Amino acid sequence: MTSTKGLEGVVATQSSISSIIDDQLTYVGYKIDDLAENSSFEEVVYLLWNQKLPNKSELDTFKAELAANMELPGAIIDHLRSYDLSTVHPMAGVRTAVSLLGLYDDQADVMEEQANKQKALRIQAKVSAVVTAFARIRQGKDPVKPKKDYGYAKNFLYMLNGEDPKDIEVEAINKALVLHADHELNASTFTARVCVATLSDIYSGVTAAIGALKGPLHGGANERVMEMLTDIGEIENAIPYIDEKFKNKEKIMGMGHRVYENGDPRAKHLRRMSKELSKVIREDKWYNMSVKIEDYIKEQKGLPANVDFYSASVYHSLGIDHDLFTPLFTVSRMSGWLAHILEQYNNNRLIRPRAEYVGPKTQKYIKMEDRK
């Protein structure tokens, strides 16, 4: 029995939700390029959960149900107000608040298929409100209630800022939500499936997944990208900064990806949005700096940008606080986690791998009085 570090190359389950084959990402067989350019986030969520794109009637109903379930219980808002917002990282706050939602759901431990689908809908609706409420409360503002006639992306920006967003801003958030919705058996998705494979409840599964996404090697990468761009400051500093990283053998966030050999197919869509948005806010240095860094690292190390690299400048251009980048990732990836949780429940087997033991063998027990 031989281990594989990081489970790299290990096929742990079968799934019909998303695939990465020959550097092409698909959701239920649909290419990510087609979905990113044509679909609303709600269409993609419906696709992931139901294995088919909705017709107009199905989509209208689904969008209405999401909007109707978006408002948070007052107890959750009171809980968010109780945080010491000077020390709490948003991902820790979101993780705890999402877990707390389960205490206010009288169906939390009902395991029938229809009950789980309804819980999935409520969780997907409310996670957007959790993130935006956290952001506003720490600014000393009241949470904003969603509008039932707004789509998911538009409602996110409306609840975050308290004003109607521009069309290009809605387009950018919708595209980001679509691109981040699922990504095969990534670390947080695997965590969710391991958790619910014990037949734990759906709230436990998504809370465990949020904990995994919080790490800088997973969901936290785009926040670190923006920290890097801010440290660089001006475009003429970019190459010397990267050379110093190379010299010190430091990891550069947002570059390369374990499962793509020739580049992340999602990155180009956010690269285009970064270019457009940086022009809108008249701060194109963030886009230009990103392009210069990507081109240089590709030339020097053969590593192209991944989706996190350009999402950083997109979110910055939208005025989103840098430490909210990963919570926004959570809002999107929640759809994929829930799809995988539902799939796991429908064909469950406890996930219990083995470990290759490398510790000492055949040691002899020594009585206390004889130990040195």
The single residue listed with the structure tokens 């980048």 is 325
Based on the number of CB atoms within 10 Å of its own CB, is 57 exposed (0-12), middle (13-18) or buried (19 or more)?
A: exposed
- Buried/exposed code over 210-241 (b: 16+ C-beta within 10 A; e: otherwise): bbbbbeeebbbbbbbbbebbeebeebeebeeb
Is there a catalytic annotation at residue 231? no
**Cα–Cα distance between 76 and 270 in angstroms, integer?**
33
Q: Which of 105, 201, 264, 308 is catalytic?
A: 308
Is there a catalytic annotation at residue 308? yes
For residues 196 and 345, is the Cβ–Cβ distance under 8 A? yes
Q: Which of 79, 180, 183, 257 is catalytic?
A: 257
∠144-125-72 over CA atoms, to 5°? 45
Name 279's Cβ contacts closer than 8 Å, sequence gap at least 6. none
**Cα–Cα distance between 280 and 107 in angstroms, integer?**
45
For residues 74 and 126, is the Cβ–Cβ distance under 8 A? no
Catalytic residue list:
257, 308
